[in-house]
Every structure is written in structure tokens, then in C-alpha cells.
Amino acid sequence: MMRLASLLVKEFIQFFRDRVILILILWLYTVEVIICTYALGLDLRHLPLAVLDQDNTPVSRQLVSALTSGDSFDLVGHPPDMAAAEAWLQAGRARITLVIPHHFSRDLRRGAAPQLQILLDGSDGNTAATARNYVLLAMQSLQTETAPASGPPLAAEVRVWYNPDLTNTRFMVLSMIALAALMVGVIHPAATIVREKEVGTMEQLQVTPIRTGELFLAKTVPTLFIGTLSVFPSLLIVWWFGVPLRGSLALFVLLTALFLLSAIGIGVLIATVCRTLQQALLLSFFGLFPIMFLSGTLAPVASMPEFLQYLSLGSPLRYYMDVILGVFLKGVGIAELWPQAVALLLIGLSLFAAASVVFRRRSS
């Protein structure tokens, strides 16, 4: 324990002396988040749709068919009641829920003003706005075909949850924070280990009584601690953009640490096969982009080819995106996020264990 404690103190001292790394981490969690949030936009397809059809008539089924005939919506099921419909939105199983009330078709034929309820998951404002526009267009088309020409217009009660103003800024700022955590977790341990290989200090440490496991922990624990601590400056950016924190901050920090386990494991694996810092950085970016693209931050997973959707199950960033959106915008707790927590734990421990084994073999 004394050797490990001394190594950890040494790593922390070395980290805080490296002004370039400090500036880089601060840049990733603040300036880059701001720039990317203002600059980027998303266009999504294949939105999960749940339908609570209380009318259950040919007209109501015609409306559902019109919505799901293209690639804009994917029907994921019919919740039995409003409580289940709300639970599906809360858990992320559906991104939009269409509630068709009783006597919908009767009112439509009589020329009355039938109403529909559209519940939208507004945590991604771009998705919610697209879904709302498509549903309203389908409703207008149905009214033209079914309702009398002189009848009143079809009215829809639209309620956008989690992001009422349908701004895409909230989704972007949270996704950029997730990407910053991934980059810090991967690049920092890869760069520090390879840099010590280049200057020769790694060989000096190996001839000391320090065990390989202690050296591995000394190289990874500071990154885990610093990476977890670095999310707090980004909370100022979240506040700047008006993103609410509706869930538990402690749960967010805990799941962030689980996510960083995966990122650190990837970084150590990269460091063990690289001999120079340039190789480590290039290989880090080579692995970062697939993880980013398969996570749902830049494009919805549902719109990817099926084999890529299965491949995305191995991306820890996919589960971390559910965590960060759920905690900040939806206010969900561990009851809803336990599948993501288990996935992050399994992926993180697997990568961390693999990195430890490879590190021991290369260092022995």
C-alpha cells in the first residue's frame, strides 16, 4: 500500500505539472462543448412510436398506418393505459406516444372537432420537432380524406416532455460533454504511458520493487479520478445553456465513473501496442470515431443498418448517452437506468481487466 500510495502521489504531481494536459482537459469540457453545441445540428429518422388507441376503429388504424408507412416512425407497441404510455417515455422505449381517444372517428365523421394527444420526448429537441410536424401533417391528410369539407379543423393537444421549447441545444451540450469524457478517458492514459516509454522512465520503474499491478493502478486511478472530477466544470456550461438537472447529481457522477472505466481500458490497450506518442494519438482517434458514431450522438441508432445496431451494443458511449439525457432532462433514477448501469459495469470491467492482463504481459 505504501508503494501504491507513493506511485499515486507521483502520478498526481506529474499530472498537475503538465499544463498542456490541464489546458486540454479544460478545453474539452468547456470551450469545445460550447463551440460544438452552437455549430452542430442533427436530423433524425426511425423514431420509436407507441400508440394508445382507445378508439380502435378503421379510421384510427388508418392514421397509425399513415404514420408508420414510411421511415419516419417505427411502431414499437401499444401500451395498455396512460400509466404504461408514460412509463415507456420515461424508460426511453418510445420517443413519441400518440393517444387516440374514444369516439375519435365518430367525431371526425360528424364534423366535430376531434382531439388527439401527442406525448413527445423532448430531451432531443430536433427529434421532437420532427415528430410533431410529421404527426400534424398526417392528421391533416386524414381529415381531408375523412371529415366533411365544412367541418371544423382537427385539433391536436401537443405536450412536449423534458424539453418544452424543442431546442436542440440541450441535447447537443449533453452529448458534447459525453464525448469529452470519452476523449479524456481514452487519450490521457494512452498518452501518459507511451510518453514514459519514450523518455525511459517506464523501464526505470520496472526494475524497482514496484509490482506490475501497482504500476497499472497508478497509471489508471488518477485518470479515473481526474476524469470524474472534470465533469464539474462542465456543469457551468450546462447551466449557461439552461439545461436543467432534474435527477441525482451523485448518480450521474457514479455512472460517469463507470463509463470512464471503459474509456481508460481502451486507452491502456492502445498504450500497450504503441511505442511512440504519435502512434498512440492516431490509434486513439482511430478507435474514438467508431465508438462515437455507434453511440447515437451523431445519428440515431435506429436509422443504422441492422448489423451496426448490434455492433453499437458494445459502445459504452451509447449507454452513457441514455444516462446523461435521463439524469439531466428526464430526472430518472436508478430504477430506470439500471440496465445502462449494468451494461456500463460489464463493459468497463471487461475492458479494464483486459487492459490489466495485456499491461502485465507487456511490462513483465
Task: Kindly state whether residues 127 and 98 are assigned to the same domain.
Answer: yes
What amino acid is encoded at 163 in this protein?
Answer: N
Task: Kindly state whether residues 132 and 89 are assigned to the same domain.
Answer: yes
Strand order in the sheet with 115-121: 73-77, 47-53, 96-100, 115-121, 155-161
Contacts 24+ apart (CB under 8 A), 69-73: 71/45, 71/46, 71/303, 72/45, 72/46, 72/47, 72/130, 72/131, 72/134, 73/46, 73/47, 73/48, 73/49, 73/131, 73/134
Q: How many residues are listed for the chain in this entry? A: 364
Task: Kindly state whether residues 348 and 312 are assigned to the same domain.
Answer: yes
Among 132, 161, 190, residue at a domain's last position: 161
| CATH code, 148 | 3.40.1710.10
Q: How many domains does the chain have?
A: 2
Task: Kindly state whether residues 63 and 101 are assigned to the same domain.
Answer: yes
Q: At 227, which helix (H) or strand (E)?
A: helix 212-229
Task: Kindly state whether residues 30 and 105 are assigned to the same domain.
Answer: no
Among 129, 161, 193, residue at a domain's last position: 161
Strands 47-53 and 73-77: parallel
Give the residue with greater pLDDT, 256 vs 289: 256
> What are the backbone angles phi and psi of residue 188, rounded to the nearest 5°?
-65, -55
Task: Kindly state whether residues 146 and 179 are assigned to the same domain.
Answer: no
Which of 54, 45, 111 has the alpha carbon at shortest distance from 85? 54
pLDDT surpasses 70 at 259? yes
Task: Kindly state whether residues 331 and 199 are assigned to the same domain.
Answer: yes
Give the residue with greater pLDDT, 345 vs 20: 345
Task: Kindly state whether residues 60 and 201 are assigned to the same domain.
Answer: no
Q: At 9, which helix (H) or strand (E)?
A: helix 2-17
Among 161, 184, 216, residue at a domain's last position: 161
pLDDT grade for 28, boundaries at 50, 70 and 90: confident
Which of 347, 358, 349 has the alpha carbon at shortest distance from 216? 358
| Most confident listed range (67-81, 114-128, 156-170, 338-352) | 338-352
C-alpha cell at 202: 517506464
287-299 average pLDDT score: 78
What amino acid is encoded at 99 in this protein?
Answer: V
Task: Kindly state whether residues 132 and 222 are assigned to the same domain.
Answer: no
What pLDDT was estimated at residue 342?
Answer: 92
Model pTM score:
0.69
Task: Kindly state whether residues 62 and 154 are assigned to the same domain.
Answer: yes
Domain span including residue 220: 2-41+168-363
Task: Kindly state whether residues 37 and 55 are assigned to the same domain.
Answer: no
C-alpha cell at 109: 365523421
10, 60, 233 from 230: Cα distances, Å: 20, 50, 6
What amino acid is encoded at 43 in this protein?
Answer: D
- Residue with cell string 459495469: 345
Q: Evaluate whether 4 touches 217 at the Cβ level (below 8 Å).
A: yes
Task: Kindly state whether residues 69 and 33 are assigned to the same domain.
Answer: no
